[in-house]
Every structure is written in structure tokens, then in C-alpha cells.
Structure 1
Amino acid sequence: MQTTKPERAPQLADKYVLRMPDGMRDKITELAKANGRSMNAEIVLILQQAIDGHAANSSGNIDVDALAEALAERLATKLKTP
């Protein structure tokens, strides 16, 4: 008999407290509103895009500096776009 792992409910998903620089929360809130997403969904999307596009170093591990840079670039681009 094969059992499947049940999907986790969103309220039980992994959580992480994040300290943001002054003003970043407001910028992310603006982006989320402009894109019709929740703030959480916007942050998750930005992180996923950064990981997919920029964050792996030669050993296959996540390069935190590259991830931070990609996130900053993505936010800057989004804030410049009307």
C-alpha cells in the first residue's frame, strides 16, 4: 500500500522572521499591491526567482551574497517600473 505525504496547510508552512532595512517593507508592500499579490507571495516569488537565476555557487550551495544582490536588483527594477 502506497501512502502519499499530505500537503501542508499554509498556516503550518515553514516560517522565518526576517529583519528588513528601513523602507524595504514599504517597497515590498507597494510591489505586492501593484502585482496583485500578498506581501508574503511577493517575497517568496522574488526569493525563488533569485535562487533560480543567480544564487548557486560552484559547489551547488546557495551563495547568500548573490541572493541578496539579486533580490536588491529585482526590487530596484520593480520599483522603477510603473
Structure 2
Amino acid sequence: MSTTPEEVVAAASDLLAKDEALKKQLKAATKALMAQQAAQVLASGQQVNEVHIESAGDISVLAPLVLKGASEETLLWANTSP
């Protein structure tokens, strides 16, 4: 908002680049969190596990990690509420 008219294009470009970098950081953090949850599920040894996820898309990251490490059938019950 404090940018001069001459600097608007450069400032907007800078904001877009920062937004893209933040999206990449969030994606990496989500993958790390899902890997940690998968490790907890596998370490529990339980066949039925409740997991907390922030969005429905998180289960698409978590489920393959659990399936790859599971030695038996494992049920994930995903909960998006706090």
C-alpha cells in the first residue's frame, strides 16, 4: 500500500514470489507432519487408528506412508475437527 505507482509491478511480483515460497514451505511442513503421524500409527501397532488432519488432502499424503510401512491391515479414521 505504501508503494509508488512506478513500483507497483515490481512489488506485486515480489509478493507473488513470496506467496509461492510460502506455499512450498507449507507443503513441505505438511509432508513432514504426515510422515510423523504415519510413524506414530505404525509404532502403535493398532489396526484402527484415529488421525487428525487439517484438510481432506492430507489423507492422500498420510495413507500411502502408512500403507508402505504396515505389515497388516490398518484402518485410518481421519478427523478434521480440533
The TM-score normalised by the length of structure 2 is: 0.25
The TM-score normalised by the length of structure 1 is: 0.25
User: Larger Rg: 1 or 2?
Assistant: 2
Q: State the structure with bigger RCO (CA 8 A, min sep 6), 1 or 2.
A: 2
Higher helix share: 2
Higher strand share: 2
